[in-house]
Amino acid sequence: MREPRQRPAGDVDYSVHGEHYSSHRRADPAIAAQVHEALGDARKILNVGAGAGSYEPSDREVVAVEPSAAMRARRPAHLTPAIDAVAEDLPFDDDAFDASMALATVHQWTDLGRGLAEMRRVTRGPVVVMAFDPSSTDGYWLAQYAPELMDVIRRRDPPLAAIREALGGTSEVRRVAIPRDCQDGFSDAYYARPEAFLDPSVRRAQSSWAFLAPGVEEAIVERLREALASGEWDRSHGFLRALERWDDSSLRLVIARRE
């Protein structure tokens, strides 16, 4: 029997910081369609770093792995319970799954290469990783008001090249289009709704805010509040409010297959 962990498996303790994830981090249908298409015709799927189960296909067999007890407890009743395990040590035989997925989670792993190698080991078909491209963050308006947050994101998010190299085989990278009313509250989801960042619960549902030095979050919020009140934000970025979807975000799908 595995001994219980005495500290969080990743870089965020979701028993402290995960209170608002269920409210704000729900699967968005448009993004789900892109994820499910990338999984192909796989019938048995592994979801690593599954959290509360967002984006798990409902018409296929899914085995979920999630090391945070707080996040496992937030899985809705219609989903199968998640297994307490980490990406770096998956308790499955070689080639046990038709496909596997790891969505918005690899930036929290303690050993990216080992975790992705484990996913490749247990997966016959495609490994699908949804991650943020740290080289694309400067193009987002939030960088103007929250450069400190962008520094955190660039430090945490691994380069896409590192993900592809660790998975081996052949791989492709797809941009993920984000709808204006995106239901999954990661930072890029609010490209047309800047007022959302004034809500503390929205920020609490984005783990990178937890890494800011004391007082920095408050300073960022005040900058944005003043820009919105003065009309500065709308003069510079208001055109985004009219976009039905944003094609230039940093969100990507990496889809890797064996040679």
Structural domain boundaries of the chain? 14-257
| Segment 51-87, tens digit of pLDDT | 999 999 999 999 999 999 999 999 999 999 999 999 9
**For residue 259, what pLDDT is reported?**
83
Q: Please tell me the pTM assigned to this model.
A: 0.90
What percent of the chain shows pLDDT beyond 90?
86
The CATH number given to 14-257 is 3.40.50.150
Ramachandran angles phi, psi of 44, nearest 5°: -115, 115
Comparing 17-31, 125-139, 164-178, 214-228, the range with the smallest average pLDDT is 17-31
Residue 8 has pLDDT above 60, yes or no: no
Q: How far apart are CA 10 and CA 24, in angstroms?
A: 20
Nearest to 252 by CA among 174, 166, 182: 174
Task: Please identify which residue in the block is written with the tokens 């999984």.
Answer: 39
Average pLDDT value for residue range 142-152: 96
Q: How far apart are CA 224 and CA 234, in angstroms?
A: 11
